[in-house]
Structure 1
């Protein structure tokens, strides 16, 4: 006998998720408005068959609106939506949600409290005879390791277990595309990592195309094959986690994936001088106002041997790491650094800093 993610007994191992026929979903120049305010501004984006695509961005960036358009809950103002080269929403076509082969998992899980767990899962299997729908629901519950709760009601489940029931219900009809709106936002932080990993494993097994909305950059990096970063209804950058982190297109992208130090700078003589070092100006002409950016984790702090003198103004112990605030010559603002805990002796004030030239990123001021 084993235990499930919440510590409840499970008598058998979780069954492998059933395979679906993954589809390619394409957004073509999507525009949308709410009360005459444009909220989606010409987004073109493709979710490839079988991939996990994360829509990432702050509140109001258009992530959930784009998901609702994909589900058919809303119709865009202009543009087209293509599923495996078949238009499902456009100027003269609107396929209703139930005919799209798209599954939707809501942020609050939306379980019916008066229905058993089994009946919640078979709710979307209306096209099947009852006995077959029950069998599919039981199979879906077994895939998420909750078959022992089939005859119980949602109120007996923890948040993590409710999330897994909602996932079972969304996957039971074998959708070609699964849409997930902030699926882990309501979970205890201690369980998020485990539940995310389990969900990702089930998505991989089912081979469904998945589009996941999140405002958490680390969550997107943990789950996604590719990430689409949005801001104010526009697509900022699309790529793998590695690409978006290492090669951010602008200042917003750089700051969304990690905490940063930002300094005002100007290109001069083909170089840019910052409080943490001088770097080539690259494509930027002389006189161009710039923002120079260094991530906190890329500021190296040592007692001696660094390139620059610094003084510790404050330090905060965070467990594995410490957060430092430092005064450095040439900067009116403190420089922040995130270093391994206990790297520096307690009470130390005067230290040295080093930053690799490649870790100083330059962006135009208005980017």
Structure 2
């Protein structure tokens, strides 16, 4: 099956600066209807990639193809308005003097009035704003404004929808809720979409595939599950989810010996190889009878669990998410053991 979007070996510089590329050797591909996310820390290049796809940033190397058309190569870039790409921005970018209905209909310029009316009603229904068509942006909540921006971007039926940190102005609870709602809307529509964010939980709630971006490159392109359980690089292991590294040695029998016990080995290295093993908070459980001692040095109550940072006798620290009924004070000793069914280790 041919790819709907193919981003191939992009190299980009900040405008006017050609000393160090902000994006270098950046590649990924998406099928039609896929929802993806570019996730990474500030300054890693993810927004530059989004702007390149949209047609707002030129390429030094590489190419971008969308729906069978070449839309960007060095020296030639199809105009943004000819790319059939929709955008939803961080600040919504709604027209303040236009009503909800007029903002959405702006994306339908050139169509007949009958088509506009039919599509407007469909889109208002789709984003759950049917009773608010005559309101102005300042009369809406942040979440409602974002839904208007989404409907306006979807109105021309774009080949691709780009979302640039679209939920970052909202409070945390609404951000997660809206990410799930927008995902459902896009899946209903069969719209191919890319979200840019630095928020892991938002990315996990929204995307089928996530590209973790670091220093202008994709470190790993995978499902949220794979990124968490099978990180391919140390950066991804550190960046995704929570956890801590403890030292280990690969044994001759093929597992990894750690101070908390053996862990399955994910590496093809000879016995005796020294490694760092990533232990997630859910890899560690309490065992009052046969566990190993660990001192509580930090504690966060999350409602369903207590997230403990624990110091082991060697001085290494690990994190453990234990049931909220296990309530220990700072300085107290906990008895723990490993419950890891797979290993995540990196050679030193």
Q: TM-score, normalised by structure 1?
A: 0.85
* Contact persistence 2:230–2:344 (CA under 8 A): no
User: 245, 261, 277: which one pairs with 1:292?
Assistant: 277
* Shift of residue 313, structure 1, vs aligned partner: 3.7
| Residue pair 1:262, 1:292 contacting (<8 A) in 2 also | yes
Q: How many residues align?
A: 342
Gaps of 5+ in 2: none
Shift of residue 175 of structure 1? 0.7
Partner of 2:90: 107
- Gap change, CA 1:345 and 1:213, over 3 Å in 2: closer
Q: What is aligned with 1:324?
A: 308
Q: How far is the alpha carbon of 1:210 from its aligned partner?
A: 0.8
**What secondary structure sits across from 2:336 in the alignment?**
strand
In the superposition, relative to structure 1, how do residues 91 and 249 fare at CA in structure 2: closer, same or farther (>3 Å)? same
Give the RMSD, CA atoms, in angstroms: 2.5
Mapped contact 2:261–2:338 kept (Cα < 8 A): yes
How many Å apart are 1:110 and its aligned residue?
0.8
**What is the match of residue 206 of structure 2?**
223
Q: Which of 104, 110, 122 pairs up with 1:121?
A: 104
The residue number in structure 2 matching 1:173 is 156
TM-score (norm 2): 0.89
Mapping 1:293-308, distance limit 5 Å? 293-306=278-291, 308=292
Q: Distance in 2 between matches of 1:347 and 1:76?
A: 53
Matching of residue 32 in structure 1 with residue 32 in structure 2? no
Whether the 8 Å contact between 1:138 and 1:150 is mirrored in structure 2 is no
How far 1:92 moved relative to its partner?
5.3
Query: Structure 1 stretches of 5 or more lacking a match?
Result: 1-22
Farther off after superposition, 283-292 or 183-192: 283-292
Match of 1:201 among 173, 184, 196: 184
Select which of 132, 136, 144 maps to 2:127: 144
CA contact (8 A) 2:10 2:27 kept: yes
Is the 1:303–1:344 contact (alpha carbons within 8 Å) kept by the matching residues of 2?
no
Contact kept? 1:310, 1:351, Cα under 8 Å: yes
CA contact under 8 A between 1:300 and 1:355: conserved in structure 2?
yes
